[in-house]
Amino acid sequence: MRSIRSSFSGVAVIAAALVTISFFVAAPSIAAEHKGMAMAKGGMDRFLIISPHTAEQCLAVLDDMAAKEPQMLAKTDWGCMAGDHTAYMIVEAKDEMAAKNKVPQIVRDQAKVIKLNKFTAEQIKSFHQKS
């Protein structure tokens, strides 16, 4: 019985790996085909911004955001109280540079900006059909 279970587990792991590999092989073409899927309201794109800072910079970053982007302060999640001096936010902007400009200047160069998108079940089915 154990050998059947371990064989089944091995097959499941291999199947999961193949699905993962096929996704990453298809992902560049999927992204190219569905470039417009990330648009938010008003033609703006959505971006995740991950903005690390040091413990020494923390108060200056908070002060800067409170003074220059008070509406962003309310939308930003902070890991500082847990020892992770990083700001996490989702913003709408016309492009990556406009999104990055929402980050305080003193830490802007360290910020990572990721364009976000959503998929529908129909799109996922079409991705499988094309791969």
Q: Which residue has the higher pLDDT, 131 or 30?
A: 131
Per-residue burial over 3-35, b if 16 or more Cβ lie within 10 Å, else e, is eeeeeeeeeeeeeeeeeeeeeeeeeeebeeeee
Main-chain dihedrals φ then ψ at residue 102, nearest 5 degrees: -80, -10
Look at residue 115 in the predicted model and tell me its pLDDT: 98
Q: Residue 13 pLDDT more than 50?
A: no
Average pLDDT, the chain: 80
For 51-71, what is the mean pLDDT?
Answer: 95
Look at residue 39 in the predicted model and tell me its pLDDT: 55
CB 34 within 8 A of CB 116: no
**DSSP category for residue 74:** H
Look at residue 41 in the predicted model and tell me its pLDDT: 59
Residues 6+ apart with CB under 8 A from 128: none
Q: pLDDT tens digit string along 62-81?
A: 999 999 989 999 999 999 99
86 DSSP β-pair partners: 52
**DSSP category for residue 57:** T
